[in-house]
Amino acid sequence: MSKSNHGINISGKVEPGFEKVRMEFEKNFIIRGEVGAAFAVYQHGKKIIDLWGGLRDQKKKLHWESDTVALVCSSTKGISAAVLAVAQDKGWIDYNKKVAKYWPEFAQRGKENITLRELFSHQAGLTTIDGGLDTKNMSNLDELSIRLARQKPRWRSGDYQAYHAFTVGLYMNEIIRRTDPQKRTIGQVLQDEIVKPMNGAFYIGLPHDFDSKKRLAQITTHSLIESLKSLPSMPQEVKRMFYHIFLPWTEMGRITLNVKIRSYKAMMDPHFLQIESPAANGVGDARTMAQIYGSLAYPKADSIISEKTLELLKAPPTRPRLSSMDRVLGVESGFSLGFFKPVQAFRFGSDHTAFGCLGGGGSFAFADPSKGIGYAYVPNLFNDYLWNDPRERALHKALYECL
């Protein structure tokens, strides 16, 4: 670990030519309020950036270390989607087949014709689940499977898009449970097929013997008063989502009422972190996330998918029939096969073939196949941006200028 000229503890290294990225990483702490964070990039299978610094626990003044892991919220969806891509590549699933082919009980209450592609693209109208979601009922996967199968969609699949904030991960998990020859969960497949062969650190469901006191970053959040004060200066989409949280007739309001885990503090509860919530509770480091996306972006002999599957991930999203406006996010957005794709409001990567996923609080990871890039940023100061967090954008901009 080394201290910058401003006394910030920054560790790791960058390859020659990427010094500007390290400078912007340091500036995040100096001028953009960063508390603790990690940033990593792989290109063509080689690690070219691996940085970490600041504090993993602001109250106790504990440094962010090489093996520190952090909650990445919805960036978990992208890692879960990587597991689905492996399943596609192995022939366990076909994105274009109906869900009911793999899960016969799903074919009820108007869901007979929903395809995996529509479900994973947030177009199935299954944003909530009757009876609500909490840690207890999410941990009983057999009972949860019955509830998911009997859920009635809110509209005809493929007509609209609405961000399935929590539920999409539960459906992903059930598909993997039913198609994996060993009947593993998505978190188990992730460990066995992807993370362990990489010697990485990413979990969907923390092991019970995981030493959280030594390795897990503690999040820092803005108070409600602080968020309200900053709201006037925030992007329009953030203002809209914030207001809709309190309006129960909106899709965002319905999700908020449906999910009992309603704050980042609640998501840090050890009981929640130990269950598998493949849309929301992933815990890992930037290095592993970048390596996973790097393997997706640059198929080779030891990659997790083939070039054939990568071509599916690179393709533009299939747009809803009636509107491209997301009914939860309130903006035009594009999802494809579990990943977020570049849209007008949020560009990333070098072109339209990029794919990834953002997480509440500011984390972001993606693949850029055109440049063979796997990219990941993980902070523990949770900002209120939907996307275009100034800390991440500074790193993104510096990286592509260096490239």
Candidates 1.10.10.10, 3.40.47.10, 3.30.70.260, 3.40.710.10; correct CATH number of 2-78+196-402?
Answer: 3.40.710.10
Q: Quote the tokens at residue 251.
A: 């899709």
Flag whether pLDDT at 1 surpasses 90. no
More confident residue, 379 or 1: 379
pLDDT at 232: 75
The per-residue pLDDT for range 183-204, each reduced to its tens digit, is 999 999 999 999 999 999 999 9
The per-residue pLDDT for range 244-255, each reduced to its tens digit, is 777 788 888 899
**pTM: predicted TM-score of the whole model, two decimal places:** 0.95
The per-residue pLDDT for range 275-327, each reduced to its tens digit, is 999 999 999 999 999 999 999 999 886 789 999 999 999 999 999 999 988 99
The per-residue pLDDT for range 333-378, each reduced to its tens digit, is 899 999 999 998 889 999 999 999 999 999 999 999 999 999 999 9
Domain range summary for the chain, segments of one domain joined by +: 2-78+196-402
